[in-house]
C-alpha cells in the first residue's frame, strides 16, 4: 500500500519538473488526491471538492464534505449552496504570512457561518 503523502509529493515533483505548470491551480489535482486518500480513512469519510461555489466569502479553493452530504442526494450530488461540513480549503504559497491570512476577510466570513 502506498503512502498518500509520498504520492502527493511525487505528484508535486512531477508537475513542477514539467515546466508547464501554472502557479497554484496546476497542483489542485494532487492536493485533491491527497485529501481524498486521507478522507477515506476518517469516520465519517470526507471528500474534497476543488473550486466550490461562493458562499458569500469569495471563492474558496475547495471544500471538505462528509460522505453523508453526498449519500442523501440523488445520483450522489450535492444540493445547491450546501456548505462543506468539514471546512474550506484555501491554497497559498509557502511565502504567504499565515497570520495575515487567518485575519483576512475570507476566513472571518466563513467562521461566522
Peptide bond preceding 92: is omega within 30 degrees of 0, i.e. cis? no
Three-state SS string over the chain comes to CCCHHHHHHHHHHHHHHCCCCCCCHHHHHHHHHHHHHHHCCCCCCEEEEECCCCCCCCCCCEEEEEHHHHHCCHHHCCCCCCCCCCCEECCCCCCCCHHHHHCCHHHHHHHHC
pLDDT in tens, 25-79: 999 999 999 999 999 999 999 999 998 877 666 778 899 999 888 765 666 666 6
For the chain, give the mean pLDDT.
Answer: 84
Question: pLDDT band for position 101 (50/70/90)?
Answer: confident
For 36, residues 6+ apart whose C-beta sits below 8 A from its C-beta are 47, 48
What is the structure's pLDDT at 96?
A: 85
Q: Is 21 a residue whose pLDDT tops 60?
A: yes
Q: Report d(CA 7, CA 1) in Å as an integer.
A: 11
What is the structure's pLDDT at 109?
A: 55
Amino acid at each position: 500500500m502506498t503512502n498518500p503523502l509520498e504520492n502527493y509529493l511525487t505528484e508535486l515533483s512531477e508537475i513542477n519538473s514539467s515546466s508547464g505548470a501554472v502557479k497554484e491551480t496546476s497542483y489542485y489535482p494532487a492536493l485533491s488526491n491527497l485529501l481524498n486518500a486521507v478522507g477515506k480513512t476518517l469516520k465519517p469519510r470526507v471528500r474534497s471538492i476543488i473550486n466550490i461555489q461562493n458562499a458569500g466569502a469569495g471563492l474558496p479553493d475547495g471544500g471538505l464534505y462528509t460522505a453523508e452530504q453526498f449519500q442523501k442526494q440523488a445520483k450522489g450530488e450535492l444540493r445547491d449552496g450546501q456548505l462543506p461540513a468539514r471546512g474550506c480549503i484555501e491554497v497559498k504559497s509557502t511565502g504567504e504570512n499565515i497570520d495575515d491570512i487567518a485575519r483576512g476577510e475570507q476566513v472571518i466570513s466563513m467562521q461566522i457561518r
